[in-house]
Structure 1
Amino acid sequence: MTAAEILLDELRQARTTRGMNQDDFGKLISYSGTHVSAVEVGTRAPTSEYTAAIDNALRTGGMYGRLLERLSALDLAPLWLREWITYEEQATTLRWYEPAFVPGLLQTEAYARATLRAGGSLTAEQTAHRVRSRLDRQAILSRDNPPHLVVALDVAVLRRTVDDDRVMMREQLDHLAASAELPHVQIHVVPEDAGLYPGLQGGFILATLPDDTTCGHIDNQVRSQTVGGGPEVATLQATWETILRDALPRRHSLDIIKEAAKAWT
């Protein structure tokens, strides 16, 4: 079930649990029964005005408006990412290793757009939606009680041009450096002299949830999936520890990021 389908199901429930047909419900919220029907079958999108009318009529305190906002944002994300986003939002700690790009939670809008365009498989509209979804996810870092984000980056990420845009790269690395100085964010750079280390097989994320369980997310050219425990998570945790042994300390890593930013001027 998609996020949109969840919302439509809840809107139908709001009507049917009160024993009302679509015409009667429409009168209650000052819409036609035809409009109510079109929304419920998915041929007409529910708007913020429509959900506000339901919230006002049923005195929900804005519940359906909030559902619309949150579930619409979730539907901007690709299908394979939606399950992970729910874990990401709940996490108390996120450990993110990335050998190729700046992690999505720390990307600027321009960098996000360029990396999403790089594959050449998305339309302009799909790219815009993915960019918005990626930037919306960053809100977890500025909320009350944000997760502790620990990032390990291969040094090549700092030197790899995207769209051959030096200004964009400078802005991205400046943003990365500023993020690294936040109290709940720490970034470690894996230097060139680490040689061939296990992390180069692909990026991954580990999320520690409020109940102290850990789940992981892996993404490569063949598949992208969330793993919930057992040997797969144990393997990712062991790989993470190996990567951190090769990575530079936090302050040294920050110096490397700032030097790399200057090189893009």
Structure 2
Amino acid sequence: MANGSRQAAWEFFGAELKRRREEAGMTQSALGTLVFVSGGYIGQFEQAIRKPQLDVAQRIDQVLQTGGIFERMCRKLIDDNRYADYFAAVVELEAQATRICEFAPTLIPGLLQTAEYARAVTVAANPFVTDAYVEDIVTARLERSGILKDATRPEYWVVLHENVLYIPVGGPATMAQQLDQVATLMRERQVLVMLLPYEAGAHAAMLGALKLMDFEDAPPTAYTETSFSGTLLDDPAVVKRAQRAYDLLRGAALSPKVSLALIESAAEDYRRCASTT
């Protein structure tokens, strides 16, 4: 489903939610209380600013006695095989965030990936899929990165483990191009990148990737990911712990200036290697 048609469908979801809520004689706050979100969240659902998770849609159906219509619409709208089920909501939230803070222990984050790097990562994880499937995944990943070019782009902080520089995804030419892109984005001040060096030893988020997202009119969220699954967290106490872990990572990381020099040096090493093969 194209981005425009998906947005139109979410707008229909919101309009239908508003209509059914008003027919039931309920305020946004009253409905929010019954489905365990704030009234402001209900308002954001109705305006298609924020997309409800499936369990919230199910509770709305129960409270408004709508026969499962919101669950069915929600399932249809999040049924995009370019994203894993556990990641679809994260993609929606990235586009609404005012700040994104990310830790990447092994790979360049998706928002910073070049097409060739994304293609190599996708094939490595899915060695038996068709070329068409691979290109769908790559296209979706590049579409996500469009938020960094938007005038209202979020602040984007990234801590990369030094591992990321030395895992040769796609070969030397792909790595050189990828690291050049990261360096360019850093110099253009579209992203602030810091390297966590091997010398930092054990660190606060060494079990997997971490993404924190802040919003204008909604509580912050955290997303953690391992090889086969991810978890979107919105419990305030848990998000606070994740934020503290990220603060510790930044405290152990190299400065942006030193990090940029190391990224550019690694890119040059890959470029020399590519020219001799």
TM-score (norm 2): 0.67
Partner of 1:175: 181
Q: Which amino acid aligns with 2:144?
A: R
> Does 2:256 correspond to 1:240?
no
Q: How far is 1:226 from its partner?
A: 1.1
Q: How far is 1:183 from its partner?
A: 2.4
Map of 1:156-195 to 2, 5 A cutoff? 156-163=163-170, 165-195=171-201
Map of 1:201-240 to 2, 5 A cutoff? 201-211=207-217, 213-240=219-246
Going from structure 1 to structure 2, the CA distance change for 1:196 and 1:72 (only over 3 Å counts) comes to: closer
Provide, for residues 54-75 of structure 1, a one-character-per-residue CA deviation record: whole Å limited to 9, x for no partner: xxxxxxxxxxxxxxxxx79966
Q: Which amino acid aligns with 1:236?
A: A
Q: How far is 1:196 from its partner?
A: 1.8
Going from structure 1 to structure 2, the CA distance change for 1:242 and 1:122 (only over 3 Å counts) comes to: farther
Task: Give the distance between the partners of 1:9 and 1:197, measured in 2 at CA.
Answer: 42
Contact 1:97 1:203 in 2 (8 A): yes
Task: Give the distance between the partners of 1:203 and 1:105, measured in 2 at CA.
Answer: 13
Task: Give the distance between the partners of 1:180 and 1:122, measured in 2 at CA.
Answer: 35
Q: Which amino acid aligns with 2:182?
A: L
Going from structure 1 to structure 2, the CA distance change for 1:10 and 1:244 (only over 3 Å counts) comes to: closer
Map of 1:63-212 to 2, 5 A cutoff? 76-120=82-126, 123-124=129-130, 125-163=132-170, 165-211=171-217
Going from structure 1 to structure 2, the CA distance change for 1:195 and 1:9 (only over 3 Å counts) comes to: closer
Provide, for residues 152-201 of structure 1, a one-character-per-residue CA deviation record: whole Å limited to 9, x for no partner: 000110111113x1111100010110011222410000111101212221
Sequence identity of aligned pairs in percent? 25
Q: How far is 1:219 from its partner?
A: 1.1
Contact 1:73 1:136 in 2 (8 A): no
Going from structure 1 to structure 2, the CA distance change for 1:9 and 1:177 (only over 3 Å counts) comes to: closer
User: Secondary structure of the equivalent of 1:90?
Assistant: coil
Count of aligned pairs: 204
Give the stretch that moved more between structures: 228-237 or 186-195: 228-237
Structural RMSD (CA) = 2.7
Q: How far is 1:240 from its partner?
A: 0.2
Going from structure 1 to structure 2, the CA distance change for 1:72 and 1:182 (only over 3 Å counts) comes to: farther
Q: How far is 1:218 from its partner?
A: 1.1
User: Secondary structure of the equivalent of 2:241?
Assistant: helix
TM-score (norm 1): 0.70
Contact 2:212 2:223 in 1 (8 A): yes
> Does 2:266 correspond to 1:257?
no
Contact 2:78 2:88 in 1 (8 A): no
Q: How far is 1:85 from its partner?
A: 1.1
